[in-house]
A and B are shown apart, each in its own frame.
Chain A
Amino acid sequence: MNRKTLIALLIAAMAVVLFPLYESYQGSEALSEVGQYYADNGVEDTGAQNLVTSVVVTYRGLDTLGEVTILFLAASIISFFLSFSKEERIENRQVRSITEILTTSAQILVPMIYMFGVYIFVNGHLTPGGGFQGGAVIASGTLLMFLSNPNFKLNHKIIHFVESTSGLVFVLIGVVGAMMMDGGFLSNKIAGYGFGQVGSILSAGAIPVIYTFLGLKVGTELSNVLGIYVESQNEK
């Protein structure tokens, strides 16, 4: 039995496993029980207009904390793995020339992309979006910066400061929620206070705060990973 037949057999087996799921699938008419609960009580419980945000940040906030931890772990392993000492460094690595169009458009676009990322995570409780999406947009701005100037250096002090502070603030908000707010760890309900006007920026309790710090953390973390990738090309 050669390799191609084996692959074909595996693919066929996978198709056989997946086919019942495909065949029995039909678009449902009503929400599942859990989804219905979130749709009915989401605004009273969290004050957020965007139900996905209320699920991600409040109802399943602990999972999001774990998710941030996984991302942090991945970034730490990458920086550990691709690190090298000063003696192995090539100074002034030769890079292909960058066109004028790319450098000029990067100068105009990068601030706008950053601003758009901030907009996405600040409005995470109102419109589609949130910390992770906004952070990814910010990192794409950094990617454009690296494309237009491969010798561009990130300020590691600022990056590490923002990253670790935001992560710490996220956990601290959770602890504050457990101690001062009614509802336990990562709850966003401050006892005795409402959530504010539904639909305004300053509403939904702790969700905008958490999403802002999450956006900063994810944005700096992914930018840092990109920076490490670019930096590792300077190794001999």
Chain B
Amino acid sequence: MEYVIMTTGFALTISGLYGLLSQKNMIKMILGFTIFTTGINIVTVAIGYIKGGTAPILDDAGKAVGKYVDPVPQALVLTSIVIGLGVTALMLAYVMKLYKDKKSLNINDYKDLKW
């Protein structure tokens, strides 16, 4: 089971990076970036997996029931998802402003920072 999650995570990471590099449309590049971060988040959660473990929530008496998966990577990924959301929203705002300026989403039309 853990290998399925791990393979999915790495596959998403690689395909997201490919999308980020190969696309010319800026919206599609942002989509590639989000797929990339999702893959990395899945890999991080998979690292904290314990064989036969369940969600790290105790029972009503505050006692452990069976095995738990590691709560630390999950807390890290929670932080990472929120920051990824902020970065994505910021990138989308930049793209909206750029589109308003030049009416183009193609990254090749923006050569202001090219030397």
Contacts and interface: CB of A to CB of B under 8 A. Distances in A.
A70 B74 contact: no
Contacts of A51: 56-58, 68, 71
A31 B70 contact: yes
A141 interface: no
Contact of A52 (B43, B56, B62, B92): B56
Nearest to B58: A49
Contact of B70 (A32, A218, A222): A32
Interface in A22-68: 22, 25-32, 34-35, 38-39, 42-43, 47, 49-52, 54-56, 60, 63-64, 67
A127 interface: yes
Name A's interface SS.
helix
B26 to A, nearest CB: 15
Contacts of B14: 11, 14-15, 18
A28 B94 contact: no
Contacts of A52: 56, 71, 74-75, 78
- Chain A interface size band reads 35 or more
B51 to A, nearest CB: 5
Contact of A42 (B43, B55, B58, B79): B58
B72 A55 contact: yes
A71 interface: yes
Given A67-B79, A78-B93, A128-B55, A34 B72 contact: yes
B62 A198 contact: yes
A81 interface: yes
A232 B98 CA distance: 13
Chain A CB within 10 A, most for which of B1, B22, B48, B93: B93
Interface string B70-101: 11101100110111011101101110110010
Q: Top 8 A-B pairs ranked by shortest CB distance? A: A74-B86, A51-B56, A199-B60, A198-B62, A35-B70, A27-B2, A43-B62, A55-B75
Interface of B: 1-3, 6-7, 10, 13-14, 17-18, 21-22, 43, 46-51, 55-62, 64, 68, 70-72, 74-75, 78-79, 81-83, 85-87, 89-90, 92-94, 96-97, 100
